[in-house]
Amino acid sequence: MTLEEWIDFKTDYRYSGRLADFLKTEKERPMAWLKEYLNFGGYPRVILAKQRSEKLRIMDEIFRSYIEKDIGYLLGVERIEAFGQMIKILASQVGGLVNVAQLASMTGLSAPTLKQYLWYAEKTFIIKTIKPYFTNRQKEITKAPVTYF
């Protein structure tokens, strides 16, 4: 669900199509709900869960399914646990520079394997790698990219 659809659901559709009215009328709920949406996203099963612990369990299940089925089975990644660890490390430093050597050391992967795993993560839409912009093309190529989810 999009944020607007999620707010419609949370308000029992009282503000359907009138998000601006909701934001003007409510004072505290929009920020709390935005934080909840940013933490858990718009997955329907997660939205329908009542307790935080249940939401976390479902998110963990979605993550494990992605790692085991999509990455492990479909792409044939041999070190699934290292791939999962790489994703968790990247998630903990969102927006930070990606130091391939350091990340490879932390996950126990070789640099070429880590680069391949980063490519898999990007192609399966888990991360987006942004290269820094420089007018000097050589500098742009050698500088570390930034990763976002």
Distance CA 19, CA 4 (A): 7
User: And the tokens for 36?
Assistant: 């909840």
pTM exceeding the 0.75 threshold for the entire prediction: no
| Closest to 129 (Cα-Cα) out of 104, 99, 106, 107 | 99
| Closest to 34 (Cα-Cα) out of 65, 3, 76, 1 | 3
Tell me the pLDDT tens digit for each residue of 16-55.
888 888 888 887 888 888 888 888 888 899 999 989 999 9
Tell me the pLDDT tens digit for each residue of 62-110.
888 888 888 888 888 888 889 999 999 998 888 788 888 999 999 999 9
| Closest to 82 (Cα-Cα) out of 41, 110, 44 | 110
Answer for the pair 147, 129: CB distance below 8 angstroms, yes or no. Answer: yes
Query: What local confidence, expressed as pLDDT, does residue 51 receive?
Result: 92
Confidence label for 134 from pLDDT (cuts 50, 70 and 90): low
Query: What local confidence, expressed as pLDDT, does residue 129 receive?
Result: 85
Does domain 52-148 fall under CATH 1.10.1740.10? My reply is no
Confidence label for 138 from pLDDT (cuts 50, 70 and 90): low
Q: What is the DSSP letter of 108?
A: T
Query: For the chain, what are the domain ranges?
Result: 3-48, 52-148
Distance CA 126, CA 116 (A): 14
Distance CA 35, CA 32 (A): 5
